Amino acid sequence: MAATEHERRSGPALELDGAAVRLGGRTVWSDVSMRVGPGEFVALLGANGSGKSTLLKVALGTLALSAGRASVLGRAPGEASRSIGYLPQRRAFDAGTRLRGRDIVRLGLDGDRWGLPVRAPWGRGAARGRAAALRVEAAIAMVGADGYAERSIGECSGGEQQRLLIAQALVGRPELFLLDEPLDSLDLPNQAAVAALVAELCRSTGVAVLLVAHDVNPLLPYLDRVVYLARGRAVEGPVEQVITSETLTALYGLPVEVLKASDGRLVVVGQPEPPAHHHDRHDHSHAHVG
């Protein structure tokens, strides 16, 4: 595996303390305190519009807090962007996008550097070029994308694109991996496979993971902790403490019931969720404009 021997920091990867965000005059959430420790796998749960993507934007440094404190890898948000892997919420690449999966992964390594990736074909330049190619290769192998990395990204299926994008996010060996609804557009077998892959990468590379999800069930076997956002507040803790009738009822201020199916799956009943499914993105962008 690629980055097991990579030295990791000991402090928390992400820490919010009494944090609040206001967008367009509306408080999205306030008094949120949470942390993602090094190498931890944490899920960020909540209904649509509860501010999950907003929290990722705070971690990325693209959105400022209105109150409280945030630190990312011991620094202010936005100062550690090269040490963060980010998988945004998305549908898919356009079918006509004519770049190979390999090129998409490569952008994660040095796509933010100016200039052409031209190196002298001898000496140190050549060695660095080979090292970069090897890291891309290793990242592709890590997510099991060897079979389709040469194909044009637009021709890959949704699950294949998701794996390649995970490789892109991890090729730079980040210390914190932020995923926004990575399971959203996938069918159930692929949801399970991608959840297992992220958990395996978290364990093998030691990257800390904060994964935004609607549905906790595909993640249940792997999670260290969950953060649940609702009604502008957050609760943090182990799954069995947070996703309970008592905790969620207190959080929502409405009677919410958590049922456990015989296979261990959790079902939240009575959760006041707006019916909209794919409007998360738009809601946020409009909030930005206003």
Partner 1 sequence: MSADPANPRLGWNVLRDVGELVEYHFMVNALLAGAIVAVMSAAVGWVMVLRRQTFAGHTLSMMAFPGASAATLAGLPVAWGYFAFCGAGALIIGRVGGSERRTWSEESASIGTFQAVALAAGFLFVSLYGGVLGDLDSLLFGDVLGISDGQVLVLASVAAASLAVLVVLARPLLFASVDPDVAGARGVPVRALSVVFLAVLGLAVAATSQITGPLLVFALLLMPAASAQTITARPIPSLALTLLFGVGVTWLGLGISYFSVYPAGFFIATISFAGYVLVRAGAALLGVRRARPADPMPVDGVIA
Contact set with partner 1 (CB under 8 A)? 60, 62, 78, 81-82, 84, 86-88, 90, 93-95, 97-100, 103-104, 107-108, 110-117, 151-153, 155-160, 165, 168-169, 187-193, 196, 218, 263, 285, 288-289
- CB nearer to partner 1: pick between 37 and 159: 159
Minimum separation from the CB atom of position 235 to partner 1 (A): 26
Residue 171 CA neighbour count, 13 Å, CB half: 28
Question: Which structure tokens are listed for 122?
Answer: 């001898």
Minimum separation from the CB atom of position 134 to partner 1 (A): 19
Minimum separation from the CB atom of position 62 to partner 1 (A): 7
- CB nearer to partner 1: pick between 159 and 270: 159
Q: What string of H, E and C letters represents the secondary structure of 154-194?
A: HHCCHHHHHHHHHHHHHCCCCCEEEEECCCCCCCHHHHHHH
**For residues 225 and 12, what is the distance between their CA atoms, to the nearest angstrom?**
14
- CB nearer to partner 1: pick between 178 and 268: 178
Give φ, ψ of 59 to 5 degrees. -65, -35
- CB nearer to partner 1: pick between 131 and 188: 188
How deeply is 37 buried, as exposed, middle or buried, from its count of CB atoms within 10 A (0-12, 13-18, 19+)?
A: middle
- CB nearer to partner 1: pick between 67 and 76: 76
Buried residues in 215-244 as b, exposed as e (16+ CB within 10 A): bbbbbbebbbbbbbbbebbbbbeebeebbb
Minimum separation from the CB atom of position 60 to partner 1 (A): 5
Minimum separation from the CB atom of position 233 to partner 1 (A): 26
Minimum separation from the CB atom of position 106 to partner 1 (A): 9
By the 8 A CB rule, do 234 and 17 touch? no
